[in-house]
Structure 1
Amino acid sequence: MPAFLRYFFALCALVSINATAAGPAYGPELQGFNFTLPVQKYTFTSQGQPLTMGYIDMKPQGKANGRTVVLMHGKNFCGITWETSINALSRAGYRVIAPDQIGFCTASKPAHYQYSFQQLAQNTHRLLSSLNADRVTLIGHSTGGMLATRYALMYPQAVEKLVMVNPIGLEDWKAKGVPWRSVDEWYQRELKTSAASIKKYELNTYYTGKWKPEYDRWVTLLAGLNNGSGKKAVAWNSALIYDMIFTQPVYYEFNELTVPTTLMIGTADTTAIGSDIAPPEVKAKVGNYEQLGKQAAKLIPHATLIEFAGMGHAPQMEAPEKFNQTLLDNLGSP
């Protein structure tokens, strides 16, 4: 075989290996991802442009109890990552709605959008109204906890109960000395996202150094979205969302919540936005969920605190059976 052909075939093999190692690439709204639950679409107009939110709407299995639960995902999560909780709640008789917020997962990635928790709450309220879900139990995880708080403050009459699972925003990072990042800096950071960087971060922050094979699916989802055909749009929206999270704390309004509230806290969580660029003395005093959960429970009127000792940022994924049973017990209590 001529030398140039050997070189050509070797190059093709190398490209193939690298492509395989990089994993699948999904479309900007997760086109190509294997969803195990049906995802529907809600189209509406916001800020002068047509936008779409994907959502899961699971009807009760067996005898319906007449209650609706809305699951709000976190920054590095999607509606589908609530899968085990969706199934557990549905089996217990709940209708379960799990939307993807604008900028995330199966939703639109607009080129220009003024992100605020108020705007995302309004979008969600419009979606729920279109589904005749007028009074719901809100369960928000991570960034979804900040959004659920804002929703409960804006629409208290529509919220039967609020549950926050390791919500971020239990402190004001900027006030504690965490440096501000510009949107451009966040964008450059997000363009570098890979499966390896996602897994490293989640291993250390979400799962306290213990990895399970079932977590790989969600790493693949995020990596495929961040490195697919919509890579730049995904990174840009992610940057805008990080700026929203950092600059729009809900922490100062916890005492204004009027709905029954439960905090479910994995005590080993260390999540704190911007802590990767914070000075050591600042980093040491943020993201301490063993303290933050207790402090937040004192700020929120009549709050119930449930702690998962030694668990990280996502107890619903780290110990799904224990978490789901604890959640169902809490929802069933007066």
Structure 2
Amino acid sequence: MLLRSISVALVAAVAMAGVSAQAAPAESGPAYGPRLEGFDYPAPVHLFKFESQGNALEMAYLDVKPEQANGQVAVLMHGKNFCAATWEDTIKALTGAGYRVIAPDQIGFCKSSKPRAYQYSFQQLASNTHALLASLGVQQAILIGHSTGGMLATRYALMYPTEVSRLVMINPIGLEDWKAKGVPSMTVDQWFAREKQTSAERIRAYEQSTYYAGQWRTDYEPWVQMLAGMYRGPGRDLVAWNSALLYDMIYTQPVVYEFGQVRPWTLLLIGQKDTTAIAKDTAPQEVRARLGNYPELGRAAAKAIPHATLVEFPDAGHAPQIQDAVALHKALLEWLASPDVSRTRRPD
């Protein structure tokens, strides 16, 4: 079981507060290093060392092998406010079905290097991940990306189409171009100023409203503390700076215009109560109201991607792999085991 560095008292306090984001303690909790030093992962953490843009970097990753292998490899790509550790339930589901699972922390995130100067792009992150897989002898993989990881998985599939056996996107962002729809641009310095205001209270409130469709459970709290702990630690400014650079990448590099070029068979797993749109709080109200409509966005993406299957989760928000893990993993494993057919349905 994952040993999360969070006090039982803190979890209990959140529960006793009526699971309200406003009532929960704002800044009680652990402080972690800039590479999540002090926070335990559900499996041994390995480091892939490489050179990029003049930096000596380390990409942290999990490599979890099943007891009875089916010969296939699944690569998990985390979202902006997630880490390899947050895939814990998905790793168990996949390895239980015979898949070898590789779950990296991308550069700039979690337990991986956070360079002071780095030109972040989805192409660069895809190239980094491709180099990691090559070092492990993986020539063919199933890509499973959530949120920002869905954008990254799409870019990877566009760059290395013959090396992706199947593509899975769980509530990906990048299904719309926020800039084109009217979300104002921000400089990296403005993003940095926003990120320096990060606190457990703000993280919790956002996750409750967006990730979990207004619901809250005590098992969500460790992921709040995982993020907030880095902003309490000695490397808080470096964490915030890399986060600012990454938000600039996400905002300026949409993949929605290239969905028609995606070649692998693709599964879209979409929580219908998701309303995610980066920096929509900065947009005028009339613009904000048009953003993050995931029922519409998911169906449009399924039409644009040539070989797509869409599965909708009516009561889930942005993170159905955490909020409704049983239903999501059932749909995922059924599709992975199925012949290549395109269809649209809701989970049973």
Computed over aligned residues only, the root mean square deviation of the Cα atoms, in angstroms, reads 1.1
1:15 maps to none
1:124 maps to 129
Instruction: Give distance in 2, aligned partners of 1:279 and 1:54.
Output: 39
1:160 maps to 165
1:209 maps to 214
2:65 maps to 59
In the TM superposition, structure 1's runs of 4+ consecutive aligned residues that sit over 2 Å from their partners are: 19-22
Instruction: Give distance in 2, aligned partners of 1:227 and 1:158.
Output: 40
Q: CA 1:77–1:20 in structure 2 vs 1: closer, same or farther (change >3 Å)? A: closer
Instruction: Give distance in 2, aligned partners of 1:333 and 1:132.
Output: 26
State the SS of the aligned residue for 1:22. Answer: coil
- 2:79 pairs with 1:38: no
Instruction: Give distance in 2, aligned partners of 1:59 and 1:319.
Output: 24
Instruction: Give distance in 2, aligned partners of 1:251 and 1:311.
Output: 23
Q: Which entry has the higher C-alpha Rg, 1 or 2?
A: 1
Q: 1:222 aligns with which of 224, 227, 243?
A: 227
2:265 maps to 260
1:22, distance to aligned residue in structure 2 (A) = 2.9
Instruction: Give distance in 2, aligned partners of 1:117 and 1:20.
Output: 33
Q: 1:24 aligns with which of 17, 30, 47?
A: 30
1:49 maps to 55
1:21, distance to aligned residue in structure 2 (A) = 4.5
1:20, distance to aligned residue in structure 2 (A) = 10
1:171, distance to aligned residue in structure 2 (A) = 0.3
Q: CA 1:145–1:20 in structure 2 vs 1: closer, same or farther (change >3 Å)? A: closer
Instruction: Give distance in 2, aligned partners of 1:181 and 1:165.
Output: 27
| Number of positions where the alignment pairs a residue of Structure 1 with one of Structure 2 | 315
1:146-201 per-residue CA deviation (whole Å, 9 max, x = no partner) reads 00000000001110000000000000001111111111011011011011000000
1:248, distance to aligned residue in structure 2 (A) = 0.5
Q: CA 1:315–1:20 in structure 2 vs 1: closer, same or farther (change >3 Å)? A: closer
2:97 maps to 92
1:34, distance to aligned residue in structure 2 (A) = 2.2
AA at the equivalent of 2:236:
K
1:138 maps to 143
1:281 maps to 286
- 2:195 pairs with 1:190: yes
AA at the equivalent of 1:48:
G
The share of aligned pairs that are identical, in percent, is 61
- 2:238 pairs with 1:249: no
2:204 maps to 199
1:204, distance to aligned residue in structure 2 (A) = 0.5
Q: Which consecutive unaligned segments of at least 5 residues does structure 1 have?
A: 1-18
AA at the equivalent of 2:177:
D
2:22 maps to none
1:251-290 per-residue CA deviation (whole Å, 9 max, x = no partner) reads 1000001111111100110000110111000000010001
Instruction: Give distance in 2, aligned partners of 1:218 and 1:72.
Output: 16
Instruction: Give distance in 2, aligned partners of 1:248 and 1:36.
Output: 32
AA at the equivalent of 2:217:
K
1:36, distance to aligned residue in structure 2 (A) = 2.6
1:23, distance to aligned residue in structure 2 (A) = 1.1
Instruction: Give distance in 2, aligned partners of 1:281 and 1:167.
Output: 23
AA at the equivalent of 1:314:
A
Instruction: Give distance in 2, aligned partners of 1:238 and 1:306.
Output: 31
1:73-115 per-residue CA deviation (whole Å, 9 max, x = no partner) reads 0000001100000011001100000000000000001000000
AA at the equivalent of 1:64:
A
Q: Which consecutive unaligned segments of at least 5 residues does structure 2 have?
A: 1-24, 340-348
- 2:308 pairs with 1:309: no
- 2:241 pairs with 1:236: yes
Q: 2:179 aligns with which of 151, 174, 178?
A: 174
